[in-house]
Amino acid sequence: MMNDQDISSDKLSLKVNALLIIDIQEKIIRPIFDKDTIIKNIKKLINAYQILEENIFVSEQNPLKLGVTIPELRPIAGFRKFEKMEFSLAKIEEFLKELKDKKITNLMVCGIETHICIQQTVLDSLEKGFEVILISDAMGSRNRADHEIALQRMTQSGAFITTTESIIFELCKTADRKEFKEIRNIILS
């Protein structure tokens, strides 16, 4: 089984990355275990991705019934939103076409719920040949057991697991980068 150390910065730099923010919606977020930490970490990811000019995709599960993405987690610009009824974002042809057009190979995944929409998206994405990185402290479920078991199943299926801070520094690559000060401020906030 692979872990954080198996994902080298060189590996990330050779591929095109995208952040998937799965279903952080008004009615779904309320009962989520440790939701404040998840929201804080996703906010850090969005800010870092926008500074580093990486791809961001947002999904919303049945937004007419479950509401839209919570305001504090709507990226400012340069992102694509997909509304869906399928639990798996990777079943949406328009989404897959966008990944192909942008030559995206690495999917960094966060959001809710780990054991439903995230797990189905991840398993389908792995099957389609994407490298998937689970940002474990930026995703959750209503109860901790569902979250933990889903993480195990996805890693056993080939996904990598990491944390918010680890992936942000990995994408930044060096303290010499002009954006590093901004990135450091995001991490320390």
Q: What residue ranges do the domains of the chain occupy?
A: 4-128+141-188
Give Cα separations from 28 to 108, 109, 172 (angstroms). Answer: 21, 17, 31
User: pLDDT digit string (tens) for 105-158?
Assistant: 999 999 999 999 999 999 999 999 999 999 999 999 999 999 999 999 999 999
Has residue 5 got a pLDDT over 70? no
Top-level class of domain 4-128+141-188: alpha beta
pTM: 0.88
Q: How far apart are CA 164 and CA 147, in angstroms?
A: 16
The residues annotated with a catalytic role in the active site are 23, 84, 117
